[in-house]
Amino acid sequence: MDVQSALRANWEFRVEHKGIRIFSSKVKNSDVLGFKGETELPVTFKKLISLFYDTENYHRWVHQLAGMDVLEKNDCLEYVVRQVINAPWPLQKREMIVRTGLMQAGDNAVAVTMTGEPDYLPLNPKYHRVRHCKGLWIFTPSENGCVNITFIMHVNPGSDVPSPVSNTAMFEVPFYSLHNMRTLLTSGSYDPPYPSEIENHLSIIEDAPDTP
């Protein structure tokens, strides 16, 4: 998913709640809508990046995450994860295998890319393997020392889930993930280690958030 193309998509504003704005967009050849969530957080770039590398604590902010494993880690910028997502009864839990990367996305912006790799592992009959998953997290500095966060994703959960049900549930994903992320990142007790080897690949320049 190209960063600029994703941002230029025909996004329709749907709702704003607790400082989080949610948008949707039609996706070619799919009845399932793409979603975009936006918010601003008083945190540093490095703490945000640290959060994404702190895979042991994903359950504290990723909406409906039931389990997660790191399957592959080639270098500090790319890894493959397996996520199990809760689904309402009587549906099976969804299993997603996602290749995640980190890249520059313009002037001092950083993007976390997500691309589904459904055939990475043999199928597990306990779960419904998600065949299509693409997404982006984009971090952009703001003038007040905060970071603007954009979360874009399109997931087809499977043919056993009617598209109206998928589209309704998809609005929960960006809101609760961003809300949980904000709660965790602004907690004084959460201090994930920063993977300093990233500096060998990306130049991260940041200002501390403004304080009263």
- Those residues with Cβ within 8 angstroms of residue 27's Cβ, 6 or more apart along the chain or in another chain: 33, 34, 154
Report the number of distinct structural domains present in the chain.
1
On whether residue 136 sits in a domain, the answer given is yes
Which structural domain range is residue 56 located in? Answer: 9-189
Q: What is the C-alpha separation between 32 and 15, in angstroms, rounded?
A: 18
Q: Look at residue 97 and tell me whether its pLDDT is greater than 90.
A: yes
pLDDT of residue 85: 95
Q: Look at residue 170 and tell me whether its pLDDT is greater than 80.
A: no
pLDDT of residue 204: 60
On whether residue 174 sits in a domain, the answer given is yes
Q: Look at residue 96 and tell me whether its pLDDT is greater than 70.
A: yes
CATH number for position 23:
3.30.530.20
On whether residue 1 sits in a domain, the answer given is no
Going by pLDDT thresholds of 50, 70 and 90, the confidence category of residue 7 is low
On whether residue 157 sits in a domain, the answer given is yes
- Does the pTM exceed 0.75? yes
On whether residue 141 sits in a domain, the answer given is yes
Do the beta carbons of residue 208 and residue 44 sit within 8 Å?
yes
Going by pLDDT thresholds of 50, 70 and 90, the confidence category of residue 3 is low
